[in-house]
A and B are shown apart, each in its own frame.
Chain A
Amino acid sequence: MAVGVRQRWERATMLAPGLLALAGVTLFPGIYLLYMSVMGWTAFSPVVRFAGVDNFRTLLRSASFWEAAGTTLLFVTLSTGLSLLLGLALALALNEDLRGRGAMRTLLTLPLIVPPVVAGFGWKFLLSSDVGVIGAFLLPLAGIRVAPMGDPQLAMASVVLADIWSKTSFMFLITLAGLQAIPPFLYEAARIDGAGFWAQLRLITLPLLKGVLIIAVILRVLDAINTFDVIFVMTQGGPGTATATFSILGWKIGFTYFDLGQAAALAVLMMVGAVFATNVLIRRTRLAG
């Protein structure tokens, strides 16, 4: 079959450049990362030696690793939980036939295209206890005198606030798309049966939205685990290590102590953690449903 051969050949010419490049920019770094994680590899010493599991062992025995684990868990939980709730509430509200709906939807998507670095800087500026309109004017006006970036708990709250500002739009958009896919006649039927808002939410909206919400949460959790820019700009992980998540710790190990082997090991552990978390999320929700 000459046609079959020709078509297969054509398909190969279409696939090859893209997939080879894809392998080059994703597969290769991945494999190289695994390799680096088992090597003693600092950017300054030219000698690269096989280190086995040393990098992992040092990491797992260090206090900073476990501290960062707690901080990451806190940050991911707060940021994901709050942006999920807010995104859901916004989507529910803007799925109704309200006046100004279109304009509000558009404005709510703005943070999606603001560089997270700018979001972090903007909030740092606003919250600053020296010059910020909130931190140095509105809060003192209300009798509250605090330095948000100087206090461990407030620093975490500030970072979460900026992250929520930056990422809730995404949750909102996905949830809204999910809501729009629910056939309206279901609600009409429920209304005829006398179901109120909360009953409709519990019996129709949430069960039908579950699939979309799971995906949204998974993407959001992965994103939160890897968040670097907002935290870096606002606190650089400080004060002390109050906001030093795994990403900040990895940057410190890799690019201020230049221990690339150990940074690679941390990245590998984070990948494993992310795969594990994703599987748990999928399995849990599948069992529940």
Chain B
Amino acid sequence: MPGAPSRRRWALALVYGFLLTYLGFVLFPLVWLLLSSFKTRADALALPPQIIFTPTFEAYEKLFTAGILMPFGNSMFVGFTNIATALVLGVPAAYALARMQGGAKQHLSFWVLSTRMAPAFGVIVPIYALMRTLGLLDTRFSVTLAHLSFNLPFAIWLLMRYFEDLPVELEEAALVDGASRWGALRHAVLPVSAPMLVAVAILVFVASWNEFILAFILTSAEARTVPVLVASLAGTMAFDWPLMSAVSAGAMVPAFLLVFVVQRHITRGLTLGAIQ
């Protein structure tokens, strides 16, 4: 086949062309936001755009002086509280479910899927009404609780799938030695599950960190989270693009750090969660 090698080369070039174009599409906004966050306001608005410019930390300094760091603290609080709650409540329940037979698991799968079907404002309407009645609007507590409505079922489900795949022999030895189920969980199952626990913790954190509408409606000032801050800055049209870019960059940092530390577990967790 004389034509084959050159046809193959063309196909390869096409594939690379497609991949590089798409990568450019993915990276361009991120790089642009990062660059803009190091510009002065004048540089950020300059057209034609300045690719080469003198970087400044003005926008990041403003982050500290303008008193808009609180949302970062709030988001951290909500994220870590979600991790703690989802794991402390979720691990034992997921483990018990994994060792059970029959209908309960089916129900749980449906439960998890139904939380994905629910429109966010469908969740927020009852929670908002409740928090209003309790006088808990604009508190970190209300946001934490709202986020658990998707994080808890997700965590239980992922962990259940994981525990199901663990070899039972692991804990049987402990059980034969007279340990309780709790003991087996603590001494035989948990030590080998650390990577999965970390993966679930990160997925919970990222979901909470990125969530917008629930936090947006439940908070107004004190308890605003980072996405709420981003949206309010983007909505003011104050045209401080470097500041908005700096906030956006800051909004990406924690999740990026977490994910890059444990990239492999994340991918596994995500695909596991999606496919099974």
- Bound pair: A and B? yes
- Interfacial residues, chain A to chain B (CB-CB below 8 A): 6-7, 10-11, 13-15, 17-19, 21-22, 25-26, 28-30, 32-33, 36, 41, 43, 86, 89-90, 93-94, 96, 98, 104, 106-126, 131, 133, 136-137, 165, 169-170, 173-174, 176-178, 197, 212, 215-216, 219, 222-223, 225-226, 228-229, 232-233, 236, 246-247, 250-251, 254-255, 260, 263-264, 267-268, 270-271, 274-275, 278
Q: In the complex, which of the residues A29, A123, A251 contacts B123, with contact meaning CB atoms closer than 8 Å?
A: A29
Residues from chain B with a CB closer than 8 A to the CB of A229 are 212-213, 227, 231
Task: Report how far A8 CA is from B267 CA in the complex, Å.
Answer: 36
Q: When the two chains form their complex, are residues B47 and A17 in contact, meaning their CB atoms are under 8 A apart?
A: no
CB-based contact A90/B22 at 8 Å: yes
Structural contact, B92 and A17, CB atoms closer than 8 A: yes
User: When chains A and B are docked, how far (Å) is the Cα of A278 from the Cα of B113?
Assistant: 10
Q: Is B196 part of the contact surface with A, judged by Cβ < 8 Å?
A: no
Q: Closest approach, in angstroms, between the C-beta of A86 and any C-beta of chain B? A: 7
Please determine whether B19 and A94 come into contact, CB atoms closer than 8 angstroms. Answer: yes
Contact B92 A14 (CB under 8 A): yes
Distance (Å) between the CB of B236 and the closest chain A CB? 12
In the complex, A96 Cα to B14 Cα: how many Å? Answer: 13
Can you list 17 residue pairs at the A/B interface with Cβ under 8 Å?
A: A17-B89, A19-B93, A113-B210, A113-B256, A115-B226, A117-B210, A121-B248, A122-B29, A126-B29, A131-B241, A137-B49, A165-B26, A173-B267, A173-B270, A226-B120, A232-B212, A271-B118
Q: Does B206 contact A (CB under 8 A)?
A: yes
Chain A residues with CB under 8 Å of B156's CB are: 18, 22
Q: Are A118 and B239 within 8 A (Cβ)?
A: no
Looking at chain A's contact residues, the main secondary structure is: helix
- Confirm or deny: B115 has a beta carbon within 8 angstroms of a beta carbon on chain A: yes
Contact A260 B212 (CB under 8 A): no
CA of A104 to CA of B16 in the docked complex: distance in angstroms?
Answer: 11
Q: How far is the CB of B269 from chain A (nearest CB, A)?
A: 11
CB < 8 Å: which of A113, A169, A223, A254 contacts B125? A254
In the complex, are the beta carbons of B119 and A15 less than 8 A apart? no
Within 8 Å by CB of B93, from A17, A33, A123, A223, lies A17
> Interface of chain B, helix or strand or loop or mixed?
helix
Q: B155 CB to closest chain A CB, in angstroms?
A: 9
A267 touches B33 (CB 8 A): no
CB-contact partner of B181 in A11, A112, A174, under 8 A: A11
Residues on the A chain within 8 Å of B132, using CB: 43
Complex interface: chain B residues within 8 A of A17 (CB): 89, 92-93
Q: Does B63 contact A (CB under 8 A)?
A: no
Closest beta carbon of chain A to B217's beta carbon, Å: 6
Contact check, B130 vs A32: say whether CB atoms are below 8 A apart: yes
* B119 touches which of A22, A113, A246 (Cβ 8 Å): A246
Give bound CA distance, A104 to B15, whole Å.
13
Q: How many Cβ-Cβ contacts under 8 Å join chain A to chain B?
A: 262
Contacts beyond the supplied A13-B92, A264-B125: 20 A-B pairs with Cβ under 8 Å: A14-B93, A18-B90, A21-B152, A33-B122, A93-B18, A115-B227, A117-B230, A118-B252, A121-B231, A125-B36, A125-B245, A131-B44, A233-B230, A233-B234, A233-B235, A251-B213, A255-B121, A267-B119, A268-B122, A274-B119
Most buried by B among A133, A137, A165, A219: A133
On chain A, the residues within 8 Å of B44 by CB distance are 131
Interface string of B41-85 (1 = CB under 8 A from A): 000110111000000000000000000000000000000000001
**Contact at B30–A110, with CB atoms within 8 Å?**
yes
Closest 3 pairs (CB-CB, A-B): A18-B93, A267-B122, A32-B126
- Pick from A111, A125, A268: contact of B26, CB under 8 Å: A111
A-side contacts of B231, CB under 8 Å? 117, 121, 229, 232-233
Across-interface contacts of A43 in B (CB, < 8 A): 129, 132
Out of A107, A122, A275, name the residue touching B117 (CB < 8 Å). A275
Residue numbers in A under 8 Å from B15 (CB-CB): 93, 96, 98
